[in-house]
Structure 1
Amino acid sequence: MSASANNPQPTTAGLSGRERFLRAARGEQVDRPPVGAWVHFGTALADPELTTAAHLSFLRAHDWDYLKVMHDYRVPSPDQGTLAARLEAFATLGTEQAGFARQRRVLTELRGSVPDKALVETLFSPFQTIIRSLGQDVVPLLQADPGLADVVIGRVAYLLADYASGLVGLGVDALFLALTGASSDWTSFGITAEQHRRWIAPHDITVLQAAAGLVRIGHLHGDDIHPGAYDAHPHEVTSWSDAVSRPTIAEVLEAGRIPLLGLDERAASYLGTQQVHEAVLAKRREARDRIIIGPNCTLHTDTNPDVLDALRSSVEVAL
């Protein structure tokens, strides 16, 4: 009897996009890497029905394996008072005030519409969530009062963690958490490595721990990520812009995580089909196909549909 008969390999024929994504995220054998992409649809003020329709149209146009759902509804803050008072108000927000009801409706509708696709919810780190609601002018206030920073960011982390812990019940497969504050470019808003370590990273970890049971995708945002800044963050899949920052693909794999990348978002709008294929194939070879394919970060909203089609077809090319 052959060795293969003694140790049969799991079949990968006829995998759905959802099955392919989940297997790949666990490092298991798949027929080809799963592929997806994402853009912001400008739906921050839209009804859930419109947000859902935009996602479904994008998914069906390109037949992605996974749908990364954009969570563009901001956590509300008081619209009056000083910036300091509005910031402090975050410390008293309750779970029902956090404004997640519309996004839950989006996720519920999407899960019912595409049961065969992996559903990936997006959240921004507690620190970034505050900036997305109040603007970057709050950063000096946080830096000037580390105690306030810890309390306010901690409260937002609690709200996000409470929300994340309920995603499994909505049929969500993965959580994509955008992590900021540990890079050398402007997207860290002047936060130092020590400030990140002391009152940003612990609250990121709180959210990721609450998402246990989902595939957790840590998106390391920015240029020149501080070495080791996210080593302690629990996640199964790492997303980052490897053209401008470490880690390397080899380092991610050595850490027991699966890389999610393939298309440089900064150049994507101007690439041709062959260039997209070459870029993705290079990453697939580097990872020995232990990879999930997607853009390294959010694509521009007017990215040429031909680029998206090329990204989709790139995983059908044999190595």
Structure 2
Amino acid sequence: MEKRERLQAALRGEPVDRPPVALWRHFPVADQDPQAFADAVVEFQQRFDFDFVKITPASSYCVRDWGAEDVWEGDTEGTRRYIQHPVQDPEDWTRLPVLDPERGVLGEHLEAVARIRQALPEVPLVVTVFSPLAQAKNLAGSQRLLLHLRQAPKALERGLETITESTRRFVRAALARGVDGIFYAVQHASYLLLSPEEYRRFGCPYDQAILREAGGAWLNLLHLHGEAVMFDLFVDYPVAVWNWHDRETPPALAEAQRKVPGAVLGGLSRVSTLVRGTPERVIAEAREAIAQTGGRRFILGTGCVVPIHAPEVNLRAARRAVEMPPG
């Protein structure tokens, strides 16, 4: 099977020649230049031949045009630390302008997306899109966002509307460049951060608006980040694939698979297995995940980004695991 054929069959629960597999990581330093970033993404795919490419930029790509600033300090996940939050007071949410995706840092990222699409014409490609609440966190800082959410909800909602419209325009522009879907990253649907009622108010309406914009794409993925996620709140989201930290927090793959109409993506522990483990452990964990799901409506991967110091031999073992016969 070709990659697209294999993935589309997996999404429908039809037989596949082997389970699809995909891993992704950050490319620090390179992610600050469109050409260098595109080259890094393409080279990673050419080395491992995954079934789709998830483009993973620095999270600041979508908020720097509003004045956010971040720095690279050597984090093992490849992420950058925010040093400037443009939203300080509740009124600042009402002053955010709607961004033009063809300009500034957003435009540079679209340039990288176009370069990747040109270099990998046959590989399914998804762009990372952060939820408005996740973007708001990076505009205000984690604690200030929660303070405004509870003390100045109307002002925050004004900001979320602006962020949503800016994101919808970016999604439209990315789809026009030939991507196959979006990787929609939700970071606040956790009982450790919000109540379900709070997420229904400050998360769901904006999520749905963005997912409607991406509705014409066939490979939209939902990523629920963190621990104690509100999984049941998302089982009817209009996406093809559900991804969360399944080796670290409920539900297990098989349980989630019974709840959603599409595919589940996971099975590999990012740190204990891909960083600290051995190829044998990677293969054993992959085979357990395939057995748990029956190899149907399943994509082998991790709950989030692969740390940048994960041994390459373990990444190759993950790719090799799906080629092995069952048993």
Task: Report if TM-score (shorter chain) is over 0.5.
Answer: yes
Instruction: Give the alignment partner of residue 183 of structure 2, picking from 176, 179, 194.
Output: 176
Q: Which of the numbers 156, 162, 172 marks the counterpart of 1:155?
A: 162
Which runs of structure 2 are paired with 1:256-295 in the superposition (5 Å)?
Answer: 256-267=261-272, 268-290=274-296, 291-295=298-302
Residue 113 of structure 2: aligned partner:
107
Q: Which has the larger radius of gyration?
A: 1
CA pair 36-82 structure 1, distance change in 2 beyond 3 A: closer
AA aligned to 1:60 is: Q
- What is the deviation of 1:256? 1.1
Matches of 1:148 and 1:300, distance apart in 2:
36
- In structure 2, relative to structure 1, the CA distance for the partners of 1:288 and 1:279 (3 Å cut) is same
Q: Which structure 1 residue ranges, 4+ long, deviate > 6 Å from structure 2?
A: 79-82
Cα shift readout 1:248-267 (whole Å, capped 9, x = no counterpart): 32343332120111211131
Structure 1, 50-59 or 236-245: larger mean CA deviation = 236-245
Aligned partner of 1:74 in structure 2 is 62
Q: Is the 8 A contact 1:95 1:159 kept in 2?
A: yes
SS in 2 for 1:229: helix
Structure 1 residue 179: Cα displacement = 0.9
Stretch moving more, 213-222 or 25-34 = 25-34
> Does residue 317 of the first structure (1) align with residue 324 of the second (2)?
yes
Q: How many pairs align?
A: 300
SS at match of 2:243: strand
Paired AA for residue 154 in structure 2:
G
- DSSP-derived class of the 2:206 partner: helix
User: What's the Cα RMSD here?
Assistant: 2.2
Change in Cα spacing, 1:150 to 1:231, as seen in structure 2 (3 Å) is farther
Amino acid at match of 1:32: R
How has the CA–CA distance of structure 1 residues 243 and 20 changed in structure 2, closer, same or farther, with 3 Å as cutoff? same
Q: Residue 247 of structure 2 contacts residue 267 of structure 2 at CA under 8 Å; is this kept in 1?
A: no
Q: Which residue type is aligned with residue 201 of structure 2?
A: R
Q: Give the partner amino acid of 1:119.
A: L
Match of 1:27 in 2: 13
Deviations 1:87-144, CA, capped at 9 Å, x for gaps: 4333x22334674211211111111111221111111111101223442243112321
Query: Alpha-carbon deviation of 1:86?
Result: 4.3
The change in CA–CA distance for 1:227 and 1:263 in structure 2 (over 3 A counts) is closer
Letter aligned with residue 15 of structure 2: Q
Alignment of 1:154-303 (within 5 A): 154-185=161-192, 190-214=193-217, 215-226=219-230, 228-254=232-258, 255-267=260-272, 268-290=274-296, 291-303=298-310
2:144 counterpart residue number:
138
- Using the size of structure 1 for normalisation, the TM-score is 0.86
1:274 counterpart letter in structure 2: E
Helix, strand or coil: the match of 1:121? strand
Paired with 2:290 and 2:25, the residues of 1 have a C-alpha distance of 23
Unaligned runs of 5+ in 1: 1-14
Alpha-carbon displacement from aligned partner over 1:221-276 (angstroms, at most 9, x marks no partner):
11111352213422111001112333332343332120111211131201101100
> Do the aligned partners of residues 285 and 198 (structure 1) sit closer, same or farther apart at CA in structure 2, a change above 3 Å counting?
same
Task: Give the match's secondary structure for 1:239.
Answer: strand
Whether the 8 Å contact between 2:93 and 2:155 is mirrored in structure 1 is no
1:304 aligns with: 311
How big is the shift at 1:49? Answer: 0.2
- Overall identity of the aligned pairs, in %: 26
With normalisation by structure 2, the TM-score equals 0.84
Distance 1:232 1:98, change over 3 A: farther
Do the aligned partners of 2:25 and 2:307 also contact (CA within 8 Å) in 1? yes
Alignment partners' CA distance in 1, 2:231 and 2:263: 18
Letter in 2 for 1:213: G
